[in-house]
């Protein structure tokens, strides 16, 4: 599904990218809810956690390795951070492209 995040992956709209590899991208949330608020996404356009297939599980594991890299890079690895995944309408998901919110830099 085409979303604002697909456009960020293709560099069609700007974002502050903090990490990228073949499978994933991490960039600053445009409306941060904490001093550190990074979105970590697979480049594969998986709509939500509910749309993850068995074959995607290595990719999901990879995203968590990216979490650790980005947490270290943004200085919250030791102080701590929160990972949130909103799923579907009542879960508060607005962008239908799976993403992990990494938030930290204050007491949550």
Q: What are phi and psi of 64, to 5 degrees?
A: -70, -30
Residues binding ligand AMP: number (CB under 6 A): 12
Binding residue for ligand AMP (CB under 6 A) from 9, 15, 71, 98? 15
Q: What is the nearest approach in angstroms of ligand AMP to the Cβ of residue 59?
A: 18
Dihedral (CA of 2, 103, 65, 54) sign: negative
Catalytic residues: 99
Q: Is 31 in the site for ligand AMP (CB under 6 A)?
A: yes
User: Strand, coil or helix: what is 42?
Assistant: strand
Nearest to 39 by CA among 47, 58, 31: 31
Cross-strand partners of 28: 38
Closest to ligand AMP by CB, 48 vs 76, is: 48
Interface with ligand AMP (CB under 6 A): 4, 13, 15, 29-31, 39, 86, 92-95
């Amino acid at each position: 599904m085409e979303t604002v995040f697909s456009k960020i992956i293709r560099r069609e709209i700007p974002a502050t990218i903090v990490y990228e590899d073949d499978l994933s991208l991490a960039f600053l949330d445009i409306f941060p809810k904490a001093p550190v608020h990074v979105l970590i996404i697979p480049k594969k356009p998986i709509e939500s956690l509910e749309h993850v297939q068995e074959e995607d599980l290595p990719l999901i594991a990879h995203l968590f390795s990216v979490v650790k890299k980005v947490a270290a890079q943004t200085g919250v690895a030791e102080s701590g951070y929160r990972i949130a995944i909103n799923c579907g309408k009542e879960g508060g998901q607005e962008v239908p492209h799976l993403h992990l919110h990494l938030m930290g830099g204050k007491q949550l």
